[in-house]
Amino acid sequence: MGPQETEFVNSMKKSKLVLLGIDGMDFDYTQSILHKLPNIKRFSEMGLVAPFKSVFPPDSIPSWITCYTGKDPSEHGVLESINYLDKGRDGIKVDTSIFKGATFWDYIGKEGFSVCTVNPFMAYPVWQVNGLMANGPVFINGEVQVSDPEFVKDIPVPNSLGGITDFPTRKTLSEFCGKIFEDTQEQVEFGIAYLKKNRPQFLFQTLLTMDRIQHFLWRYCDEQDPTYPGETEYKGVIERFYIYIDKIIGMFLDSIEPETLLVVVSDHGHGIRCTHCFNINEYFRGKGYLKSEAEGKIFSKQLIIEKLKNSVLQFLNKHDMEDYIQVIAKFIPNAKHLKKGRHITNNSKNMVYASDFTGTNPFGGLCLNKNLIGNYDEFRENLIGELGLLKYNGTPVFNWIKCREDLFSGKFVERFPEILFEMNPSLGINWALHTDLFTINPTHKKISGGHKENGVLFLNNLTKGHIDLNGLEMKNLFPTLLDFFGIAYHDKCNGSSFLRLSK
């Protein structure tokens, strides 16, 4: 190693970086109100404000785990999505052994840099790091943990870490909004207090509250939403929260040394959730690719149940009674099977059917049964071409539709459905049968905000190098962080650093 390289490595040992993760912060919305966000505007003048591409599907769980590991979902294998309409959270389990000890904060700590990690999504229970890791369980009640209590003897640890156990109804929406701001405030105060007291070389803190407030409040704030209720007390909540996050960014800027790099990143964007559904299994039934148990029967109990289900959901939507969906579901045996149409069709007998791995969203997948298809490759290509011609209100149903191998090549690629797609954002996938191909999304008024591909990336300065704008995507954050600290990353991930450091 020559003198120039030695000097560069030594300078990296003195480097400091603060990474602030804002779940669901949207690039387009940020740009639309940038004039009200003075601290983010400072980033655009002295550093970088840019869209940041999420993973597929752009859900929080696979995206943050890609962030932690530098591996796309086909490589780490975690595809779970979050259903905010399902209060039974026990079904969402993530095996942390997939990434425990192999996250960017682990590798940075192993190289001797002091680290602090606060509220990393799904990374629970905590484990030992070179510094502090503090977190709580997500979706279930449980104990907040810290890896080393000695570091926080004089700093109160928030009970709201992890969290996401409360789901508002219309009656509790105001209380919910107030708690969102309170939880965010106490978590930020904890992170900044730790930063000022212990001065870690690397701090990573995630705030999950923006995603939640957008999911439940979007239609109250967006006049373009067809279910916008007009002027209410909630009209400006999302904008106020973005302004509040901007102030938080300013608090972090004021708490770091001028040479410290502050990075703000989100796991995906956010916007209006699909207002209508494409009942794609009904399309397949009409083409003869999928079979209904009611076919050819004079009387069918399954058909009556399916028709009743569809009618009830539409009735509750029309009369602003979506809160009752969860109440009713508690008393229905196998409610999840009913939602997916499994009471009236057997997927093992279907040539093709819609996967449920992403919920009612524009992005999703289709499963094929090879044993029922003569020429699999030909059938799949023909099906993609056929679906690509479908239109809704004069525009294509699908933005894109591809074979999974065209997008992924990791060892867990077969966990994805055989065909992947993204639809027109006004449409979400649905599994209803014996109904119209396109129907109102009956749960839109309840969950009116949905995920988008582009999150945000903000940097406060670029004095140590420049950015490769073509590399701004989630899987490249891991190698970029390691690269900043002078740590070799090529044997640890499949991405590459988008920060071109100057020696």
pLDDT tens figures, 95-107? 888 899 999 999 9
Q: Considering only CA atoms, which of 435, 421, 416, 420 is closest in space to residue 344? A: 435
Give me the pLDDT at residue 307, please: 85
- Hey, what domains does the chain have and what are their CATH numbers? 3-83+92-272+452-501 (3.40.720.10), 276-446 (no CATH)
What 3-state DSSP class applies to 398? strand
Give residue for tokens 């190098």.
Answer: 465
- Partnered with residue 367 across adjacent β-strands are 353
Q: Considering only CA atoms, which of 288, 202, 106, 221 is closest in space to residue 485? A: 202
- Give the tokens for residue 300: 């069918």
pLDDT-based confidence at 334, cuts 50/70/90?
low
Residues 81 and 359: beta-carbon distance below 8 Å:
yes
- Give the tokens for residue 141: 């009640």
Give me the pLDDT at residue 94, please: 76
Checking if the pLDDT of 12 tops 70, the result is: no
List C-alpha distances in Å: 425 to 24, 116, 415.
16, 38, 24
Checking if the pLDDT of 216 tops 60, the result is: yes
The answer to whether the pTM exceeds 0.85 is yes
Residues 46 and 39: beta-carbon distance below 8 Å:
no
Give me the pLDDT at residue 329, please: 62
Residues 279 and 34: beta-carbon distance below 8 Å:
no
Checking if the pLDDT of 9 tops 70, the result is: no
**How many residues make up the chain in this entry?**
503
DSSP character at residue 127 = -
Interacting residues of 301 by C-beta distance below 8 A, sequence separation 6+: none
Give residue for tokens 């000890």.
Answer: 101
Cα gap 270→273, rounded to integer Å:
8
Mean pLDDT of 202-223: 96
Maximum Cα interatomic distance, the chain, rounded to a whole number of Å: 86
Phi, psi of 104 (to 5 degrees): -65, -35
pLDDT tens for 337-393 read: 667 778 889 999 999 999 998 999 999 999 999 999 999 999 999 999 999 999 999
List C-alpha distances in Å: 256 to 181, 433, 489, 502.
23, 57, 26, 22
What 3-state DSSP class applies to 22? strand
User: Rg of the chain's alpha carbons, rounded to an integer?
Assistant: 24
- Give the tokens for residue 213: 């407030």
Mean pLDDT of 256-280: 96
Q: Classify 97 in phi/psi space as left (phi over 0), alpha (psi -120 to 50) or beta.
A: alpha
Cα gap 431→429, rounded to integer Å:
7
Residues 352 and 369: beta-carbon distance below 8 Å:
yes
How many other CB atoms sit within 10 Å of the CB of residue 45? Answer: 7
- Give the tokens for residue 26: 């949207």
Residues 129 and 106: beta-carbon distance below 8 Å:
yes
Helix and strand numbers (H, E) in the chain are: 15, 21
Checking if the pLDDT of 89 tops 50, the result is: no
Burial class (CB in 10 A: 0-12, 13-18, 19+), 437: middle
List C-alpha distances in Å: 71 to 99, 122, 478, 493.
10, 16, 9, 6
Give me the pLDDT at residue 458, please: 97
pLDDT tens for 451-485 read: 999 999 999 987 656 899 999 999 999 999 999 99
pLDDT-based confidence at 88, cuts 50/70/90?
very low
Parallel, antiparallel, or unpaired: how do β-strands 48-53 and 454-459 relate? antiparallel
DSSP character at residue 415 = G
- Give the tokens for residue 356: 């449920």
Residues 214 and 449: beta-carbon distance below 8 Å:
yes
Phi, psi of 136 (to 5 degrees): -130, 170
